[in-house]
Amino acid sequence: MAGGDVATPQQKTGKGGKKHKAKKRVAIRIDMTPMVDVMMLLITFFMLTTVFNTPQTMEINLPPDSDVRVEVAETSLLTIRATADGSIYVNMGIETPEKIAFNELRSLLVERNRSIPKLICLIKIEREGTYTQMVDIMDELNLANITRFSIAAFKEIDKQLVAKAIAS
């Protein structure tokens, strides 16, 4: 190998001048079938043993489209009005509504439910109010164990009562 000659694999010689052939690599083959079987068993196991959360729903019975008037004693009717800005006004019967903070609502509901066993709540939310307000108020009623409540439209008279409560 003098003078810039490059040895190629065929020209290489080993001991005794014998020519070597390049060793062939043995291809490694991994059988994936057992791993696929194990993965399917694991997936099936986890699917069957997982406890799925069922969505919690609150059943609301809506009245028919006609204006149905139900007579309720004023002493057992608690009206909760929620305005678009998130303020809550509460009154019993025909009293003037008074503003209450949302975090005080549950304690008021629990106290009124204890003192008046047949308490009925009427929820009125302004048209511009959010759905979240209504759900939050219904959750508070549920936590206070008040099962009888109705949802009614926030009318002009309610706006006047709220304005009267703000003024006083």
Q: Where are the alpha helices (H) located in 2-101, listed in sequence order?
A: 33-49
| Single pTM value for the model | 0.59
Closest listed residue to residue 130, CA positions, set 84, 99, 80, 81: 84
pLDDT at 32: 85
Q: Say whether domain 74-167 belongs to CATH 3.30.420.270.
A: yes
HSE value, Cβ hemisphere, 13 Å, CA-based, for 41: 6
Structure tokens at 1: 């190998």
Give the pLDDT confidence score for residue 60 in this predicted structure.
Answer: 64
Distance between CA atoms of residues 69 and 67, nearest Å: 6
pLDDT value of residue 20: 66
Residue ranges in the chain whose pLDDT is less than 50:
none
In the 8-state DSSP scheme, what is residue 47? H
pLDDT given for residue 41 in this prediction? 94
43-64 CB burial, b ≥16 within 10 A, e <16: eeeeeeeeeeeeeeeeeeeeee
Distance CA 159, CA 34 (A): 71
